[in-house]
Amino acid sequence: VVGGHVLGKPGDRARAVAQLTLASGQVMQFLTAVCLLNSASGQAATCLVPFEVELRALTAQQIKRYLDREQPFGCAGSLRSEGLGVTLCQRMSGDDPTALLGLPLIALWSSTRNLPAGESSSASPNPVMLRIIRLLPGARKVTRGPKGTSVPQVPVQTEEGARERQD
């Protein structure tokens, strides 16, 4: 999110140029949601993990060179922070840096601790079914699952970049 605009994954070069031009010198907020569902009980633990990245002021030439080398068309906000995208950054801030890579491991592990006693151990969240979702506009609550469990349903993007609805 930059200035109220949800960027998502660009998918192509033209959208990547537009995203990075918009974000140049601005703070980008990445929002990653995690939902852990115990399929036996229907109980869910959810959390939203924000992470902020402030980009340097970028020239058109810097954006072009970055896109030529990195081709981050499947990355939210066109920022591949684990690669050359880090060179575009002025500052990064958040409680869970792995959220920027797509799987907030600190938050994930903390969520397993919020399940009822006996549902997780200190070693492994084995009885829990994991669903990782990337928040996009249009998120809403729906009732489904065992015992009428209310879980979020949002449009998601798979690693292949195709949009689908979470089942």
Q: Which two tokens stand for residue 84?
A: 């050359």
Q: What's the confidence (pLDDT) of residue 103?
A: 83
* Mean pLDDT, 10 residues at a time, the chain of 167 residues: 94 97 96 82 84 97 97 95 93 91 84 59 42 39 43 39 37
Q: What's the confidence (pLDDT) of residue 65?
A: 97
Q: What's the confidence (pLDDT) of residue 58?
A: 97
pTM score > 0.85 for this model? no
| Rounded CA separation 71/102 (Å) | 17
Q: What's the confidence (pLDDT) of residue 107?
A: 85
Report yes or no: 33 and 48 within 8 Å, Cβ to Cβ.
yes
| Rounded CA separation 161/140 (Å) | 21
3-class SS at 30? Answer: strand
Q: What's the confidence (pLDDT) of residue 114?
A: 64
